């Protein structure tokens, strides 16, 4: 197969063009200001990444409902939300010709108990994180009417994103969030039309895709982030993923991102719960190549890529785009460096502990801290103290949770409740 230049344009099915094959993949920023809105820090962060030379930026989680938050520092966009802060966000991210898509998400049961919200889920199956399980809300099973409300919330958020000037949305169906929970036979133990066979477990995803596509114009991109597997014994498997890709082939999908894992099995950080060993970089490339063989839309894979030679290997294998995440938190100028022939390799966050759940939480906190440095106009720091970072993250989380609860208590924050 002839080599594909990482810096060649990528034309998507709806006609939208990305200036190169390097994508800033989603990372949860936890930078929301009052009212759970993006502010100056978020704008600065995305302008910095745009200046670093990526072709597309996919935002971190933007929540489709005020009562469904992954973290108290998350952004919410729903019907009636003021759009001016989002327009400024899109403008900043568009610097230097980059495209920007909003990742739209519902966390389902992966919500912190301290926020006071139910852990909406397909079934009442709690997270299994050992002593850390108590940090998360008890799951509450959705009925069919509540599911339909959530479908419409995704569509409303997509329409708002388009109105704010974003170029597309990515529907988050990976990493153990709500749609991913419906896809998983471990989390989804329903016996109705949303449970059982993979065609039923994929019903919510397909309904969301169709509702979103109906809510936006044809030139607005609609992408999906899907697990290649969730790396839990008895969970969402490679065969399930292949079946879902087959179902998505019949929909108008512009880019399919393949990742893996969840809070219980953080494969997106290179660690699995089922004992499988992932590649040192491009964790999910082998899975992605198998799925790309049946996909009729462009495919992107994300997971651990830090070196240009590995990014080149990804596109040479037939994958259309390469997602960069932690690498861009550590070095936001990485694509521009690669374009100049500089083969810089960013360092990784190092958490030398044995407790896997604590390592996962702390690794996420360390990446957030680097993004917060960028948002403040500072450079990333090559080495951070894991303990200090975790303590600071918990302290900040408590302050953000207090602010969030105050916001939820006001009439302006009220949205239709499930």
What does the H/E/C string look like for 256-298?
Answer: EEEECCCCCCCHHHCCCCCCCCCCCCCCCHHHHHHHHCCCCCC
Burial class (CB in 10 A: 0-12, 13-18, 19+), 7: middle
Structure tokens at 118: 């139910």
Alpha-carbon gap, residue 141 to 188, rounded angstroms: 10
Where residue 416 falls among pLDDT bands split at 50, 70, 90?
low
Determine what percent of the chain is predicted with pLDDT higher than 70.
Answer: 91
Number of neighbouring beta carbons within 10 Å of residue 271: 16
pLDDT of residue 246: 97
Q: What is the C-alpha separation between 228 and 284, in angstroms, rounded?
A: 7
Distance between CA atoms of residues 62 and 36, nearest Å:
10
Tokens 């989603």, residue located: 26
- Domain ranges within the chain, ordered by starting residue: 10-413
Average pLDDT, stretch 114-122?
A: 94
Is pLDDT at 323 greater than 90 in this prediction? yes
Which structure tokens are listed for 278? 């992932």
Handedness of CA 224, 270, 303, 392 (dihedral sign): positive
Percent of the residues in the chain that have a pLDDT greater than 90, as a whole number: 77
pLDDT of residue 278: 45
With 0-12 / 13-18 / 19 or more C-beta atoms within 10 angstroms meaning exposed / middle / buried, residue 145 is exposed
Which segments of 206-251 are extended strands (E)? 221-227
CATH class of segment(s) 10-413: alpha beta
Instruction: Yes or no: say if 181 and 187 are a contact pair by the CB < 8 Å rule.
Output: yes
Residue 11 is predicted with a pLDDT of 98
pTM above 0.85, yes or no: yes
328 CA to centre of own chain: 15
pLDDT at 277 (0 to 100): 44
* Structure confidence by residue, pLDDT tens digits, 145-189: 999 999 999 999 999 999 999 999 999 999 899 999 999 999 999
Mean pLDDT calculated for residue range 220-244 = 85
pLDDT (average), residues 128-156? 91
Specify the length of the chain in residues.
418
Pairwise pLDDT comparison (271 vs 255), residue with the higher score: 255
- 28-85 pLDDT tens trace: 999 999 999 999 999 999 999 999 999 999 999 999 999 999 999 999 999 999 999 9
Matching residue, tokens 């969840």: 262
pLDDT value of position 356: 77
Which residues 6+ apart lie within 8 Å of 171 measured at CB? 104, 154, 179, 205, 208, 209, 212, 222, 223, 224, 225
Instruction: Give the model confidence (pLDDT) of 85-107 as tens digits.
Output: 999 999 999 999 999 999 999 99
Q: Which of 190-194, 281-285, 320-324, 337-341 has the lowest mean pLDDT?
A: 281-285
pLDDT, mean over the chain: 91
Average pLDDT of the segment spanning 135-140: 91
pLDDT 10s digits, 257-300: 998 766 665 545 554 454 544 455 566 788 888 899 999 999 99
Position 16 confidence tier, pLDDT thresholds 50, 70, 90: very high
Give strand pairing partners of 322.
22, 301
pLDDT confidence of residue 361: 85
Two tokens at 401? 């949770």
* Segment 357-389, tens digit of pLDDT: 788 889 999 999 999 999 999 999 999 999 999
Cβ-contact 166, 90 below 8 angstroms: yes
């Amino acid at each position: 197969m002839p080599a594909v230049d990482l810096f060649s344009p990528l034309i998507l099915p709806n006609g939208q063009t990305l200036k190169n094959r390097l994508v800033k993949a989603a990372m949860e920023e936890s930078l929301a200001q009052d009212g759970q809105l993006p502010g100056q820090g978020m704008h600065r962060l995305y302008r910095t990444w745009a200046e670093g030379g990526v072709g597309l930026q996919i935002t971190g989680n933007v929540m489709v409902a005020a009562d469904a938050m992954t973290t108290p520092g998350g952004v919410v966009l729903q019907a009636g939300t003021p759009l001016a802060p989002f327009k400024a966000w899109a403008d900043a991210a568009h610097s230097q010709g980059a495209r920007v898509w909003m990742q739209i998400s519902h966390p389902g049961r992966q919500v912190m108990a301290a926020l006071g919200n139910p852990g909406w889920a397909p079934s009442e199956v709690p997270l299994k994180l050992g002593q850390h399980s108590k940090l998360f809300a008890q799951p509450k099973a959705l009925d069919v009417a509540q599911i339909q409300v959530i479908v419409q919330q995704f569509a409303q958020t997509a329409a708002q994103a388009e109105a704010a000037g974003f170029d597309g949305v990515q529907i988050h169906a990976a990493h153990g969030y709500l749609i991913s929970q419906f896809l998983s036979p471990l989390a989804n133990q329903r016996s109705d039309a949303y449970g059982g066979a993979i065609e039923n477990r994929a019903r919510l995803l397909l309904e969301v895709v169709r509702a979103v596509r109906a809510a936006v114009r044809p030139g607005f991109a609609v992408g999906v982030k899907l697990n290649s597997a969730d790396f839990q014994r008895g969970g969402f498997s490679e065969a399930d993923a292949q079946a879902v890709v087959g179902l998505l082939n019949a929909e108008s999908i512009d880019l399919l991102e393949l990742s893996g894992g969840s809070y219980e099995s953080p494969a997106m950080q290179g660690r699995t719960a089922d004992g499988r060993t992932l590649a040192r970089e491009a964790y999910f490339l082998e899975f992605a190549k198998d799925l790309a063989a049946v996909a009729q839309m462009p495919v992107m894979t994300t997971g651990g890529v830090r070196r240009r030679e590995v990014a080149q290997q990804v596109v040479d294998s037939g994958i259309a785009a390469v997602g960069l995440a932690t690498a861009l938190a550590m070095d936001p100028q990485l694509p521009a460096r690669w374009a100049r022939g500089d083969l810089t390799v960013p360092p990784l966050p190092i958490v030398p502990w044995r407790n896997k759940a604590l390592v996962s939480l702390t690794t996420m906190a360390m990446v957030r801290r680097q993004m917060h440095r960028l948002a403040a106009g500072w450079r990333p720091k090559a080495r951070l103290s894991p303990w200090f970072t975790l303590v600071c993250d918990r302290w900040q989380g408590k302050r953000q949770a207090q602010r969030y609860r105050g916001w939820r208590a006001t009439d302006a924050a009220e949205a239709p409740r499930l």
